[in-house]
Structure 1
Amino acid sequence: MIAWIRITLAIAFVLLVSLVLMPVHLLLLWLRHRWRNRLPRLWHKCALWAIGVRVIVHGAAETRRPLMVAANHVSWLDILVLSSVVDATFVAKAEVRDWPVFGPLARLQRSIFIKREERRQTREQADEMASRLNAGETVVLFPEGTTTDGNRLGELKSSLFAAASSAAHFAPDGVVHVQPVSVAYTKLHGMAMGHYDRPIAAWPGDVELMPHLIGILKAGALDVEVRFGDTIEVMVGTNRKHVGNFVREQLRDMLEKSLRGR
């Protein structure tokens, strides 16, 4: 009973914040004001507070632009977490556009929707990412292409880094900065999470969205660690597999530190 009261209050709070901020956000989008990418950070901070998620940050986002962030992917919750610390534009699979709750939010945040199975559109999608990067937006992608169980790093799809090379053609200094960022769910009610507990936060593809959302709300009091890694400079002609290998090693090292409590 107490859990459902907490869930009701959390949902009511998020709805109230949304009603206050959404008209302002729509106006900023219409005006193309620079704060159109900053206001969502406030909404995500409020949503995480209501859900009971505490974000612990190690390091800081790269200040140079253009900037692409490459993060590991554990759950839909990653988007709220990363959006609370970075003014982010996300690269998402096309299906997200039609999801309940998160679809409209993704559209409001001007996410870039891609169809990975349609190779004909790969160039167009890379060009859109490049355009956003050179417009000063921080583009966040999940190079694993899918979520994991939160205990490991999946295989990275280096083809997604092609957008960084494309953007370098038009970047002022001919350089795009790619920064690995790890997301690790580490504690539940102050106690370290092990392999058994981490699926509470992790969202594997065979679990429906709404039941998992309710599960997160019931659990509450989650700690998540975000670590910002070293940046690699990508220029025209930079081998994307080299970029992928660099990102992979950074993410593995940072995840190990977070999951082992270092």
Structure 2
Amino acid sequence: MIARVRAFLALAFIMAATLVLAPLQVVALKTGWWRETRVLRLWHRALLKGLGIRVHATGTLSDKRPLLVASNHLSWTDILVLGSLADVNFIAKSELEGWPLLGWLSKLQRTVFIERERKRKSGDQASEIAVRLGKGDAMVLFAEGTTGDGNMLLPFKSTLFGAASMAVAEGAASEVYVQPVAICYTRLHGVSFGRRDRHFASWIGDEDLAPHALALLRERALDVEVHFGEPVVFSKGASRKETARLVEQRVQALMEKALRYPQPALPRK
């Protein structure tokens, strides 16, 4: 009963925050009166507050541009986590664009949707991302191409680094910085996750969104760590495969450190 009441109140808070901040985001996009990422950071933080997810960051987003952020991917909440910490935009699979509510919210975040199965469109999509990089937008790429279970890192897809290659090739930039980032959900109610427990935070494959979101709302006591690594320079003549492998190795190292030595749990307010 208490869990249901807690979930209801949390959902009401999230809806209220969205009703207030979403119109402000629309105004920002249409008028340019203020940078749209200002509203987004408030929005993401409000949603995390409602979900009871507490974020611990080690390091910061690089101030170098053009910047492509290459991160592992565990759940839809990763977007909220990264968006609460830095002014970033996202690259997402095209299916998300048609989802009720989430598709609309993603468009308000100026998300670039890519169709990974349609190779004929990959060049146009990479070109769009390259233009955004050239304009100074920090673009987040979930380089595994899907979500993992939180225990192991899936191989990074080198084709997803095509935007960095195109930005350099087309002269939008002489080099692109690729920053490795690791996201790790480490605790529930202050207790460290074991290998068998990490699936609670993960949203894998074709799993329904509603049950997963409801489970988070009922518990409202999740801790996540975000570790920012040093950027890798991608310049003319660089190999996408080698860059993908190097960034993957760095994300793997950050992820292993976070899981092996999770930050201490602090009292919740």
TM-score (normalizing by structure 2) = 0.94
Q: Which amino acid aligns with 1:175?
A: E
Supply the distance in 1 between the matched residues of 2:177 and 2:172 (Cα, whole angstroms).
10
Distance 1:205 1:9 in 2: 29
State yes or no: 1:136 paired with 2:142.
no
Which residue of 2 is the match for residue 22 of structure 1?
22
CA distance in 2, matches of 1:256, 1:101: 34
Aligned counterpart, 1:158:
158
Structure 2: runs of 5+ lacking an equivalent: 263-269
Residues of 2 paired with 1:33 and 1:125: CA distance?
Answer: 28
Could you tell me which residue of structure 2 aligns to residue 65 of structure 1?
65
3-state DSSP of counterpart to 1:144: coil
In structure 2, what is the equivalent of residue 115 of structure 1?
Answer: 115
**CA–CA distance in structure 1, aligned partners of residues 55 and 102 of structure 2:** 20
Partner residue, 1:241: 241
Q: Return the alpha-carbon distance in structure 1 between the equivalents of residues 204 and 94 of structure 2.
A: 18
* Displacement of 1:171: 3.8
Q: Which residue of 1 aligns with 2:267?
A: none
1:177 corresponds to which letter in structure 2? Y
Deviation at 1:87, TM superposition (A): 1.3
Indicate whether 1:5 and 2:40 are aligned: no
CA drift at 1:236: 2.5
5+ residue gaps, structure 1, are none
Amino acid at match of 1:106: S
Matched, 1:149 2:149: yes
* Code of the aligned partner of 1:199: H
Separation in 1, partners of 2:41, 2:217? 20
Corresponding residue number in structure 2 for 1:185? 185
**Structure 1 contact 66–171 (Cα < 8 Å) conserved:** no
Instruction: Tell me, in whole angstroms, the C-alpha distance in 2 between the residues paired with 1:14 and 1:60.
Output: 26
Q: C-alpha separation between the residues in 1 aligned to 2:227 and 2:33?
A: 29
- Residue 217 (structure 1) aligns with: 217
Q: Give the superposition deviation at 1:219.
A: 2.1
Letter in 1 for 2:19: L
Q: Per-residue deviation at 1:123?
A: 0.5
**CA–CA distance in structure 1, aligned partners of residues 22 and 204 of structure 2:** 30
Distance in 2 between residues matched to 1:216 and 1:170, nearest whole Å: 45
C-alpha RMSD of the superposition? 1.3
Instruction: Measure, in 2, the Cα distance between the counterparts of 1:20 and 1:176.
Output: 36
- The superposition leaves residues 101-149 of structure 1 with CA deviations (integer Å, 9 ceiling, x where unpaired) of 3211111101100111100001100000001111111100111000011
1:33 to partner: Cα distance? 4.6
Distance 1:55 1:159 in 2: 30
**Would the aligned equivalents of 1:148 and 1:202 in 2 still touch at CA under 8 Å?**
yes
Size of the aligned set, in residue pairs, is 261
Q: For the residues of structure 1 that align with 2:223 and 2:81, how far apart are their CA atoms?
A: 11
Distance in structure 1 (CA, Å) of the matches to 2:101 and 2:192: 30
CA distances 1:181-218 after superposition (whole Å, capped 9, x unpaired):
00000000001001121111001114211111111112
1:85 equivalent in structure 2:
85
Question: Matches of 2:260 and 2:101 in 1, distance apart?
Answer: 33
Q: 4+ residue stretches of structure 1 with deviation over 6 A?
A: none
TM-score by length of 1: 0.96
Alpha-carbon separation, structure 1, partners of 2:167 and 2:86:
20
Q: Could you tell me the percent identity over the aligned residues? A: 46
Matched-pair contact (CA < 8 Å) for 2:11–2:217 = no
- In the alignment, does 2:53 pair up with 1:53? yes
Aligned partner of 2:97 in structure 1 is 97
* Structure 2 contact 131–172 (Cα < 8 Å) conserved: no
CA contact (8 A) 1:166 1:236 kept: no
Q: Is the 8 A contact 1:71 1:181 kept in 2?
A: yes
Give the whole-Å Cα distance in 2 for the aligned partners of 1:77 and 1:100: 16
Contact 2:90 2:140 survives alignment (8 Å) = yes
- Amino acid in structure 2 at the alignment position of 1:138: A
Q: Which amino acid aligns with 2:223?
A: D
